[in-house]
């Protein structure tokens, strides 16, 4: 969404079940984000900018048609994060 980068204090973002097929690179600007719920969407890839989310502790991706290669990529980008796929 437009203006996402302006939400600098956002800690928890829940976008479950919204038929989202693509995330903007601006998601990586949410540097206070600790929890991101993206379950039950249409995501097949995630932006590389998510690697900038160093405080992210929990990422929910269940119910998305993500290929195994994309799951591996996100695990490598966010090694300290609990990821549900």
Q: What is the pLDDT along the chain (85 residues), one digit of tens a residue?
A: 567 777 888 999 999 999 999 999 999 999 999 999 999 999 999 999 999 999 999 999 999 999 999 999 999 999 999 999 9
Query: What pLDDT is attached to residue 1?
Result: 59
The CATH number of whichever domain residue 41 belongs to comes to 3.80.10.10
CA–CA gap between residue 64 and residue 40 (Å, rounded):
6
User: How far is Cα 70 from Cα 45, in angstroms, rounded to an integer?
Assistant: 6
Dihedral sign for Cα 19, 14, 64, 21, please. Answer: positive
pTM of this prediction?
0.92
Domain extent at residue 47: 4-84
Based on the structure, what is the number of domains in the chain?
1
């Amino acid at each position: 969404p437009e203006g996402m980068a302006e939400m600098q204090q956002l800690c928890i973002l829940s976008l479950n079940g919204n038929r989202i097929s693509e995330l903007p690179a601006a998601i990586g600007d949410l540097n206070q984000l600790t929890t991101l719920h993206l379950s039950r969407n249409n995501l097949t890839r995630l932006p590389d900018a998510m690697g900038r989310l160093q405080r992210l502790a929990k990422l929910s991706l269940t119910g998305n048609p993500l290929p195994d290669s994309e799951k591996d990529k996100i695990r490598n980008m966010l090694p300290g994060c609990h990821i549900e796929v």
